[in-house]
Amino acid sequence: MRQRQFETRHEAEWRRVSEAMKSGGGEEFPGLYRRICHHLAVARERRYGDGLVRRLEGLALAGHHTLYSRQGLTFRQIAAWLLEEFPLSFRRHWRFMLTATLFSLGPFLLIFVAILRNPEAAGLVLDAQTAASMEEMYSPAAEHFGRQRDVDSDLLMFGHYVNNNIGIDFRIFSGGLLAGVGSLFFLIFNGLYIGAIAAHLTVAGCGDNFWPFVSGHSALELTAMVVAGGAGLRLGWSLLAPGSQTRGQALRDAGRDGAVLIGGAAVMTLGAAFVEAFWSSRADIAPWVKYLFGASQWTLVLLFFAAGGRRRVA
Amino acid sequence: MKHNIGHSLTDTLWEVETPEGIMLRLRPAGFAPRGLAWLMDFGIRLAVVAAISFTVGLTIGGYAAGGIILVVSFLLEWLYPVVFEVCCGGQTPGKKRLNLRVLHDNGTPVGWPASLVRNLLRFLDLLTLYSTAAACMLMDGRHRRLCDLAAGTLVVHVEPELVPRLPSGEAPEAPAHPLDLEERAALVAFAERLDELSQARQVELAELLQPLHGRKGWQAVQTLRRNAAHLLGDS
């Protein structure tokens, strides 16, 4: 069959495919797409002109795109990701999670004990100005604590927590690409910094304000940081020890797991930002209520990671 | 099954086999267009942050405005490319302007996990002022950044849909000798590309085939066009 005959015979069909793609496919689209694939194969085999072949290639590529594009994100997918894949992936990578915990909790405890024994040690991590402003925020005389608060400043702090804390999670994760060293650096640094502030405020007599403040959101925020670190270490480890795969393949697998984990960590940190901005900062809630809330949060988070995803929910 | 085709050292075409058994040809985009697209997106993001800061600052004001601005700048910094890539067919506004598209490296449209990975890991490129990204893209045969390797993605050129070519209007004339498949394809390709060549070049190329048509100068070109019209089946 000559090229022109071929073209006249199928032109109407090709136009229909173009039209169908503009409206996102439709029920008969898979059939149309297979026909286009067939025509392309025939046109290539018969060595028809480059113009025709490239036109059909364009149609096939666009059709492929239309056929395989998934529409949006359904509630069901989100539930499956957060309630099943996320905790399952956490447990599957428990070694990385444990390492991330050690590398943040270790420095935290180290500097904490050091400062309790010798308050001067705070100078190793905190400069004088930071230390002074922290003391001011949580001093027993302050009306609001956790940074100075005006009435509608809760929203400002929420914005700050979202921007800063989720950003930190993302940075910890991306540091994993440097063979995991970046993740470790951020984990250690954050552990030292948080530990130094906690110990410094305790020594300075602000503990009665500080500990109830952080108890509420600590569970979500700190575990999310560990999850981000674990996901980063998983990336780094895939480069260092890809096992029987190529490094590229191992890195891609790590990336796929990482997406599930870092997404979950971001959602947890978002939750922590809500708690921190609108609950932790309230001075009118008795400390024991905050401790109780904090303890329940820790229990829930640990239970979630220990047991989540064992049964299908979505 | 994926492999480089043609002159693998000089050509960046990349073929991906689909479940339908055809090869899709992808054209990975290089450093320059992607850098430009990124700059455009960067400008758009700055403009949006500025506009929203301005409006919110004037209407709401105070600390609340600061909170909103912080959330907006967070979303623009990290999630702007992810949302656009997944929801707008692999194209951020900058990529759309430069006709680029992000795909999984098997040719399917990019999804949430891959887009999240390639854009969150971008922070590392930012640390080195995109020098690692540039180096990685220049070294990789498919111009992938390190983040593309981790996400399993590819940025390709989108080609505009081609319109059907009209018959040349030449009276068809069978070639003087029977031609094999390769020769016929070459003749048709020549006729299709005539518009892109200068007249002198057209003549020069056509005269190479003197053994076939035995003509010189402009006549040689005309004869080949008529032969091509015959091969295509023009009437």
Q: What is the pLDDT of residue B2?
A: 45
The percent of residues above 90 in pLDDT, for chain B, comes to: 36
How far is A116 from chain B, CA to nearest CA, in Å?
35
Where does the pLDDT of residue B10 fall: very low under 50, low under 70, confident under 90, or very high at 90 and above? Answer: low
Contact list in B for residue A177 (CB cut-off 8 A) is 121, 124, 146-147, 150
Q: Does A268 touch chain B (CB under 8 A)?
A: no
**B154 with B26: CB under 8 angstroms?**
yes
Q: Does B18 touch chain A (CB under 8 A)?
A: yes
| Nearest C-alpha in A relative to B234 | A4
Six-digit token pair at B225? 């066009």
Q: What is the pLDDT of residue B232?
A: 85
Beta bridge partners of residue B23, listed in sequence order: B17
Q: Are residues A175 and B108, on separate chains, in Cβ contact within 8 Å?
A: no
Burial zone of A240 (CB within 10 Å; 0-12 exposed, 13-18 middle, 19+ buried): exposed
How far is B115 from chain A, CA to nearest CA, in Å?
9
For residue B229, give every residue at least 6 positions away whose Cβ sits within 8 Å of its Cβ, in sequence order, or none: B167, B168, B170, B171, B172, B173, B191
pTM of the model: 0.87
Of B20, B25, B111, the CB nearest to A70: B111
Q: Are residues A173 and B121, on separate chains, in Cβ contact within 8 Å?
A: yes
Q: Are residues B161 and A59, on separate chains, in Cβ contact within 8 Å?
A: yes
**B228 with A50: CB under 8 angstroms?**
no
Give backbone dihedrals phi and psi of A277, rounded to 5 degrees, phi first: -80, -40
Q: What is the pLDDT of residue B1?
A: 40
Q: Express each pLDDT in A233-276 by its tens digit.
A: 999 999 999 999 999 999 999 999 999 999 999 999 999 999 99
A41-44 contacts, C-beta under 8 A, 24 or more apart = A41/B21, A41/B22, A42/A6, A43/A6
In angstroms, the CA A80 to CA A191 distance is: 32
| Nearest C-alpha in A relative to B191 | A49
Of A7, A47, A235, the CB nearest to B150: A235
In angstroms, the CA A260 to CA A90 distance is: 9
For residue B130, is pLDDT > 80? yes
Probe site for chain A from B20, B49, B148, B196 (most A CB atoms < 10 A): B20
Six-digit token pair at A54? 């490239």
- Higher-scoring residue by pLDDT: B105, A142: B105
Show pLDDT as tens, one digit a residue, over chain A (314 residues). 888 889 889 988 888 888 888 887 778 888 889 999 999 999 988 888 888 888 899 899 888 888 887 666 788 889 999 999 999 999 999 999 999 999 999 999 999 999 999 988 888 888 888 888 888 888 776 655 555 556 577 888 899 999 999 999 999 999 999 999 999 999 999 999 999 999 999 998 888 888 998 999 999 999 999 999 999 999 999 999 999 999 999 999 999 999 999 999 999 999 999 999 888 888 788 889 999 999 999 999 999 999 988 887 76
Q: Are residues A48 and B146, on separate chains, in Cβ contact within 8 Å?
A: no
For residue B3, is pLDDT > 50? no
B131 SS3 class: helix
Q: Does B70 touch chain A (CB under 8 A)?
A: yes
Contact list in B for residue A248 (CB cut-off 8 A) is 149
| Nearest C-alpha in B relative to A60 | B24
Q: What is the pLDDT of residue A176?
A: 93
Closest CA to B119 of A53, A246, A262: A262
Of B22, B120, B151, the CB nearest to A170: B120
Q: Which range, of A22-31, B26-35, B165-174, B180-189, averages the lowest pLDDT?
A: B165-174
| DSSP assignment string, chain A | --HHHHHHHHHHHHHHHHHHHHTT--TTHHHHHHHHHHHHHHHHHTT--HHHHHHHHHHHHHHHHHHHPPPS--HHHHHIIIIIIHHHHHHHTHHHHHHHHHHHHHHHHHHHHHHHH-GGGGGGTS-HHHHHHHHHHH-TT-SS-SS---TTHHHHHHHHHIIIIIHHHHHHHHGGGTTTHHHHHHHHHHHHHHHHHHHHHHHTT-HHHHHHHHHHHHHHHHHHHHHHHHHHHHHHHHHH--TTS-HHHHHHHHHHHHHHHHHHHHHHHHHHHHHIIIIIT-TTS-HHHHHHHHHHHHHHHHHHHHHTTSS---
